[in-house]
Structures are given as C-alpha cells and as structure tokens.
C-alpha cells in the first residue's frame, strides 16, 4: 500500500518529471447483468481492507499525471484510436464482472498514456495505477458507474480523434472525479461502521 505523503512527494517532483519537450452513447445499459453474488461478496470483503485515505491520495495524483501525459502525447493515429475503443468495448462487455471491468479500464488508461514520450512520467504513473486497481474493482461493482465510465472514455477518444488534446486532458480529469469520491465515501462509511461495531 502506498503511504500517505506519496502525492505530495510525487507532485513536488512533477516539474522535473514533466519538463517540456521541443460520443457514442452507451446503449442497453438497463439490460446490463448484475454482478455475480460470489464476486459481490468477494469485492465487499476486499473493500473492508481498502483505505479511503489512500484512495483520496491516489486519485488526484493519477488525475494530474494522466492529464499531463495526454497533453504531452503526439497525435493519436487511427490504430491508437481503434485500440482505445477496443479497450472501452471490453469495459462495456464486462458489465457484471468487476474484476474484468477494472482490467479493461486499466487497459484503456494505459493505452491512453503509452505514447506520451516521457518515460519518467510513465514510471511514476505505473505504481499509482497498479495501486488503484483494487479500488477500481469496487468502483465497477456499480452498473451505473461502469456505464458512466464507458461514456466518459468515448468522449476522451472523440476529443483525441479531433486532435484536441487539451479537451481530452480536461475530460480525463472529469473521468477521475466523477465516481471515485463516491467510492471513497462508501469505504469511509464501511470503516466507520466497523469501528462503531468494535466499540459497541
């Protein structure tokens, strides 16, 4: 688990890492399957071990880093756009399987930043993204949040397809802020409820 203070230290080094270098709407959401009961139980148990304070640290850190990587990336060609849409389709198709959905989401974001041309930036992104996977599995338990992510991803791809990296970076920020604060609140409520049980 990454320790508190990681974001502060990472952000302090961000200027050095990031030196300048010279929508189709989701259809059929109502028909999305509910998560398998066994998986739901497993994810709820996993949620008990997750730290809302860590998530509050990881999410804005990754938001800043990925938005920067998108801004630094060269134009996205047809192959890159197709790979992003394929990852997003895997996310759509994984409704009801939070683990598969989290991996598809991870694939999308890794492809999104892969061509930024700043290895030092990607070296920082990698451990943060790996640490986020457990939280993404909890996030993807909600069919509504999964559907929202698919739409947000398509908006990012559409902006990149137009060559509008600045707008794509803004949409990346919105993608990170649209659901994870809700997950953080849910984790905090579960932790506080557990503390009350222990003290009762």
pTM: 0.75
Q: Please, which pLDDT band fits residue 46 given cuts at 50, 70 and 90?
A: low
Q: Please, which pLDDT band fits residue 69 given cuts at 50, 70 and 90?
A: very high
Average pLDDT over residues 55-75: 94
Q: Please, which pLDDT band fits residue 188 given cuts at 50, 70 and 90?
A: confident
Looking at every residue in the chain, the average pLDDT score rounds to 81
Average pLDDT over residues 72-101: 97
Q: Please tell me the predicted confidence (pLDDT) of residue 161.
A: 98
Task: For 10-39, give one letter per residue: b (16+ CB within 10 A) or e.
Answer: beeeeeebbeeeeeeebeebeebeebeeeb
In angstroms, the CA 32 to CA 155 distance is 21
DSSP string, 96-152: T-HHHHHHHHHHHHHHHHTTSS-HHHHHHHHHHHHHHHHHHHHHTT-HHHHHHHHHH
pLDDT digits (tens, 9 = 90+) for 99-136: 999 999 999 999 999 999 999 999 999 999 999 999 99
Domain 35-199, second-level architecture: Up-down Bundle (1.20)
Lowest mean pLDDT among 19-33, 53-67, 175-189: 19-33
In angstroms, the CA 172 to CA 59 distance is 12
Q: Where are the domains of the chain?
A: 35-199
**Comparing C-alpha atoms, which of 111, 105, 73 is closest to residue 92?**
105
Residue 148 CB neighbour total at 10 angstroms? 16
**Comparing C-alpha atoms, which of 18, 1, 24 is closest to residue 124?**
18
**Comparing C-alpha atoms, which of 68, 174, 179, 69 is closest to residue 132?**
179
Does the CA dihedral 144-146-147-151 come out positive or negative? positive
DSSP string, 70-99: HHHSPPP-HHHHHHHHHHHHHHHHTTT-HH
- pLDDT of 84 > 90? The answer is yes
């Amino acid at each position: 688990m990454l320790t508190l203070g990681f974001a502060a230290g990472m952000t302090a080094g961000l200027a050095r890492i990031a030196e300048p270098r010279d929508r189709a709407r989701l259809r059929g959401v109502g028909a999305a399957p509910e998560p398998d009961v066994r998986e739901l139980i497993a994810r709820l148990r996993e949620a008990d071990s997750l730290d809302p304070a860590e998530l509050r640290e990881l999410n804005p850190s990754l938001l800043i880093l990925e938005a920067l990587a998108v801004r630094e990336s060269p134009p996205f060609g047809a192959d890159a756009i197709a790979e992003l849409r394929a990852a997003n389709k895997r996310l759509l198709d994984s409704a009801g399987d939070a683990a598969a959905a989290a991996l598809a989401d991870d694939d999308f974001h890794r492809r999104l930043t892969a061509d930024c041309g700043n290895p030092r930036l990607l070296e920082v992104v990698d451990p943060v993204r790996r640490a986020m996977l457990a939280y993404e599995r909890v996030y993807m338990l909600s069919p509504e949040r999964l559907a929202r992510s698919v739409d947000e991803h398509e908006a990012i791809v559409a902006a990149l397809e137009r060559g509008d990296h600045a707008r794509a970076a803004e949409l990346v920020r919105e993608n990170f802020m649209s659901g994870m604060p809700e997950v953080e609140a849910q984790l905090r409520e579960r932790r506080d409820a557990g503390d009350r049980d222990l003290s009762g």
